[in-house]
Amino acid sequence: MRTAGEDDALLLWAAQGLVTGARAWSHGSASAVASPGASARDRLAVRGSVADAVPLVRHVLAESGPGYRPVGDTRLITALVERIPELSYVGAFGWMDTTGPELPRQTRPGPVADWLGRAELPEAAALLDRHFPSSYAHPERPGATAWAGIRDDRGRLTAIAADAWSAPEIGLLAGVATHPEHGRGRGHAEAVCRFVLDSLLRRSGRAALMVDESNTPAIRLYRRLGLRWRGISAAACR
């Protein structure tokens, strides 16, 4: 998979180690990975030249089905939409990743995060339902393998984040939510993200996340943690 995807982080993540039903194709300079249920959607991660990607995406969609959403660098997805009539543009967002080997040092002491136990997951679910209801990662749905959290001095869960849909070569941070009254501005979001990202880097050597391009505070936090921005977009069959 590293050869086909030229060590592309997005494709490596979509491949999921090729053990979850994901399939990979290549054509000339283009590579594509159809990944069922990756971050709650059937995704078709693609890269390469437009000339090679167009016939490759057509072939993969015909073979895998129109439910797969092409995702990749914005320039490429825009070109695919222009050249493949069945596709329509869905939107842009950000892929951010780091290869470590570790995150930038914390500049000041902060709250301590830890993994949540099974009995704590209903509280994490309630925090998500109230403050991040659109999250793909959720304790009551498949995808996340572990949740971390921060509690304030009264024992209230104030920030959470998950290790979700991770691949052997790259771990994915998802489900980041913070209680607006007790978490934001106190370093709780940074602490819980740092905790999960450190775990992903130790295990896989690379960590990533997806973020809405309009979420400026989150992007600022992730940059501070050493993650690099990559603008990507998604399309879908009409």
One domain, residues 120 and 200: yes
pLDDT at 107: 74
Residue-level pLDDT at 184:
59
Q: What pLDDT is stored for residue 6 in this prediction?
A: 61
**CB 93 within 8 Å of CB 211:** yes
pLDDT of residue 2: 47
State residue 201 phi and psi, 5-degree precision: -65, -40
The pLDDT value recorded for residue 121 is 98
pLDDT at 89: 98
Extract the tokens encoding 221. Answer: 């936090």
Q: How many domains does the chain have?
A: 2
pLDDT score at 180: 85
**Do residues 199 and 121 share a domain?**
yes
| CA–CA dist 55, 49 (Å, integer) | 11
Q: Does residue 147 lie in a domain region?
A: yes
DSSP code at position 66: T
Whole-number pLDDT of residue 183: 53
Q: How do the pLDDT tens digits run along the chain, 238 residues long?
A: 544 546 899 999 999 999 889 999 999 999 999 999 999 999 999 999 999 999 999 999 999 999 999 999 999 999 999 999 999 999 999 999 999 888 988 877 778 999 999 999 999 999 999 999 999 999 999 999 999 999 988 899 999 999 999 999 999 999 999 998 765 567 899 999 999 999 999 999 999 999 999 999 999 999 999 999 999 999 999 8
Which domain-ending residue is among 51, 68, 95? 95
Question: Does residue 145 belong to any structural domain of this protein?
Answer: yes
* Domain presence at residue 176: yes
In terms of domains, do 138 and 185 share one? yes
Q: What does pTM read for this prediction?
A: 0.93
Residue 223 lies in a domain: no
Model pLDDT, residue 153: 86
- In the three-class reduction of DSSP (H, G, I as helix; E, B as strand; rest coil), residue 123 is classed as helix
Is residue 193 domain-resident? yes
Domain membership of residue 201 as a residue range:
114-205
Buried-state track 191-222, b at ≥16 Cβ within 10 A, e below 16? bbbbbbbbbbbeebebbbbbbeeeeeebbebb
Residues 137 and 191 in one domain: yes
Distance CA 16, CA 26 (A): 17
